[in-house]
Amino acid sequence: MKTFGGPVLFLDRSDINTDEIIPAKYLTEITKEDLKPYILEDLKLTGFDPNGEKTRNARVIISRANFGCGSSREHAPWVFEVNDITAVVAESFARIFRQNMFNCGMAAIELPKEKIDALFAFAGFADSSMAVDVEAQTLTIKGGGKEETFSFDISPFDKALVLAGGWVDYADQKY
Amino acid sequence: MGKTTAEKIFASHLVDEPFPGTRVLHLDVVMCHEITTPIAIADLMARGKDRVFNNAKIKAVIDHVTPSKDTKTATQAKMLRDWARRHTIKDFFDIGHNGVCHALFPEKGFIRPGYTVIMGDSHTCTHGAFGAFAAGVGTTDLEVGILKGVCAFREPKTIRINIHGTLPQGVYAKDVILHVIGRLGVNGATDRVMEFRGPVVEAMTMESRMTLCNMAIEAGGTSGICMPDAVTVDYLWPFIQGDYPTKEAALADFKKWWSDEDAEYDRVLDLDVSGLAPLVTYGYKPDMVKPVTEMAGEPVDQVYLGSCTNGRLEDLRVAAAILKGKKIAPNVRAILSPATPKIYSDALREGLIDVFMEAGFCVTNPTCGACLGMSNGVLAEGEVCASTTNRNFMGRMGKGGMVHLMSPATSAATAIEGTIADPRRYL
């Protein structure tokens, strides 16, 4: 199983698409590691720098609705994975991106809007970080001397994929 | 309680239900291209599992960047080519025979009503036009599909979209689907199948139905679906005539996949398109649509006609009828990419290619290329493209570029005027 949690990168916009996460011109790379420098390269968002320290240090992303829409490219979860970001918390996900995350043993965690709003209240703190416990289905955000814990829903299948480390191993044993 | 088409397909393909709400289905067709498949191949090799579940059910094509533009794309093509040879995949389409996957594979008769289809490509939803459940997936799902012939899905809910009225002149399937996406929003159909029904769909050709289903993903939909009818039978007849004594028998068989009258829908949307105007997108999301009349006069640098959405013969015919005897405006460059070799040669025979070339179009070989900013028509920063493709995301056709999605007719009128233009004045 992958490890989850650490410094948070806040991306305060809905409908962040997979072209913004990893532009198509980099889909010619043959290894996941080669994608690493291009994370979120085409995302234009006030205060966001794809090459900045916050992006480099991030282990968790918090965003809004319909995260990962557009192309089916698994390069989107992979570019997060090779940058040590293993969890994305959002109000909702596009289906293919969400499944790609779980298929890689990563976590795409959905929370209702009011809880996402509560997480974004930590966006102003330079030290915001999150602990994620997929088995217990809880996450705890800390920052600015404050702390909040939320429980989340995850389908039993998606949880099994995280625990198995991904879909290939799971399917290979079972089918 | 009756079942929807998607529910019938799920029930007939069920392999396992490992947890409530998760259905593992066996797959009838696993489709592969050179962008998302090589990493699956490399991973299978690294695991010592370089096998395929059934080489007759795997279809493969080099389509995204072809002919290869550099060493990296040549390597991707080679990985797919070598793998197809290694596993004796008969239905592998290389240079000279290759075209945009979602136009090429239907043309070859690979998709049938009731099928389950996956591909590592989000526009796989196109194939639902044949009454199949067809879903785009990532590389890991593709890898498991190649190895085991199965894929896991959540139990599908279906949005039924009844399209009433008659299409006005100058309004096409592309305008209808842009209208639907505008109504549902870019995540209005997430985890849903979009079932297209009603007299307007029944009157559509298979090509138009593919355009409709192609953009289901732009509303978040898992698959588009149309009911397989006499139009479907006619299209597939060259491929199925050995299976059925008559077309009527084929139709009767296909009808078993129709949604039951008492099927339960997540949502029903009733649209009357009789008053619809040609539509154009104005922002960076496909649900940002306006009538062309409100966008007319907006300058463009490039016109692109092609892709899995609108690169088929009927699209070329519509555009050529508008362009015949005319020249494109001096301030624009225009590119036509027929979606398959057959479409290209049919268009040549019909004299359509002459019309495009005399108008000033550059005609490229079949490829996905420009649609996703990979080759054959990438935009420079700040440039604007009037495009018959499916995504207007920021930078989609080139970093810093802007894309306006529209029908082939609107793109042809736009090429003539050099600014976004209403096609109806040319009809």
Instruction: Say yes or no: B249 and B367 in one domain.
Output: no
* Average pLDDT of the residues in A146-173: 95
Instruction: Say yes or no: B77 and B167 in one domain.
Output: yes
How big, in percent rounded to 5, are the helix, strand and coil portions of chain A? Answer: 35, 25, 45
- Inter-chain contact A42–B21, Cβ cutoff 8 Å? no
CA nearest to B120 within chain A: A72
Tell me whether residue B339 is in a domain.
yes
Separation of alpha carbons B118 and A119, rounded Å: 36
Q: List residues bridging with B310 in a β-sheet.
A: none
- pLDDT value of residue B156: 86
Whether B34 and chain A come into contact, CB under 8 Å, resolves to no
Instruction: Say yes or no: B146 and B220 in one domain.
Output: yes
Report chain B residues whose CB lies below 8 A from the CB of A174.
16, 18
Whether A96 and chain B come into contact, CB under 8 Å, resolves to yes
- pLDDT value of residue A98: 98
- Inter-chain contact A24–B372, Cβ cutoff 8 Å? yes
Final residue of a domain: which of B212, B245, B270?
A: B270
* Average pLDDT of the residues in B202-206: 98
Q: B202 to chain A nearest CA, in Å?
A: 28
Final residue of a domain: which of B204, B235, B270?
A: B270
Instruction: Say yes or no: B174 and B311 in one domain.
Output: no
The proportion of chain B whose per-residue pLDDT surpasses 70, expressed as a percent, equals 100
Full domain range(s) for residue B412: 281-426
Overall number of domains in chain B = 2
Tell me whether residue B413 is in a domain.
yes
Q: Mean pLDDT score of chain A, rounded to an integer? A: 97
Among candidate residues A98, A4, A134, A111, the one with its CA nearest the CA of residue A58: A4
Q: Is the pLDDT of residue A30 over 90?
A: no
Instruction: Say yes or no: B301 and B154 in one domain.
Output: no
Tell me whether residue B276 is in a domain.
no
Instruction: Say yes or no: B224 and B371 in one domain.
Output: no
How would residue B155 be classed by pLDDT, with cut points 50, 70 and 90? confident
pLDDT in tens, B115-125: 999 999 999 99
E strands in B328-415: 333-337, 361-363, 384-387, 402-405
Tell me whether residue B275 is in a domain.
no
Tell me the domain boundaries of chain A.
6-174
How would residue A11 be classed by pLDDT, with cut points 50, 70 and 90? very high
Q: What is the ipTM of this complex?
A: 0.97
Instruction: Say yes or no: B311 and B251 in one domain.
Output: no
Whether A59 and chain B come into contact, CB under 8 Å, resolves to no
Q: Mean pLDDT score of chain B, rounded to an integer? A: 98
- pLDDT value of residue B217: 98
Instruction: Say yes or no: B252 and B290 in one domain.
Output: no
Report chain A residues whose CB lies below 8 A from the CB of B19.
155-157, 160
Instruction: Say yes or no: B228 and B183 in one domain.
Output: yes
Q: B327 to chain A nearest CA, in Å?
A: 32
- Inter-chain contact B35–A167, Cβ cutoff 8 Å? no
Q: Is the pLDDT of residue A134 over 90?
A: yes
* Average pLDDT of the residues in A60-85: 98
Final residue of a domain: which of B270, B300, B327?
A: B270
Q: Domain A6-174 belongs to what topology?
A: Aconitase; domain 4 (3.20.19)
Instruction: Say yes or no: B335 and B263 in one domain.
Output: no
- Dihedral Cα B376, B379, B384, B389, nearest 10 deg: 40
* CB within 8 Å of A72: residues ≥ 6 apart: A18, A96, A100, B36, B120, B121, B122, B124, B136, B137, B138
* Average pLDDT of the residues in B291-300: 98
Q: Is the pLDDT of residue A169 over 90?
A: no
* Average pLDDT of the residues in B377-400: 97
Q: A104 to chain B nearest CA, in Å?
A: 7
Report chain A residues whose CB lies below 8 A from the CB of B20.
156
Instruction: Say yes or no: B321 and B392 in one domain.
Output: yes
| CATH number of the domain where residue B123 is located | 3.30.499.10
- pLDDT value of residue B378: 98
How would residue B206 be classed by pLDDT, with cut points 50, 70 and 90? very high
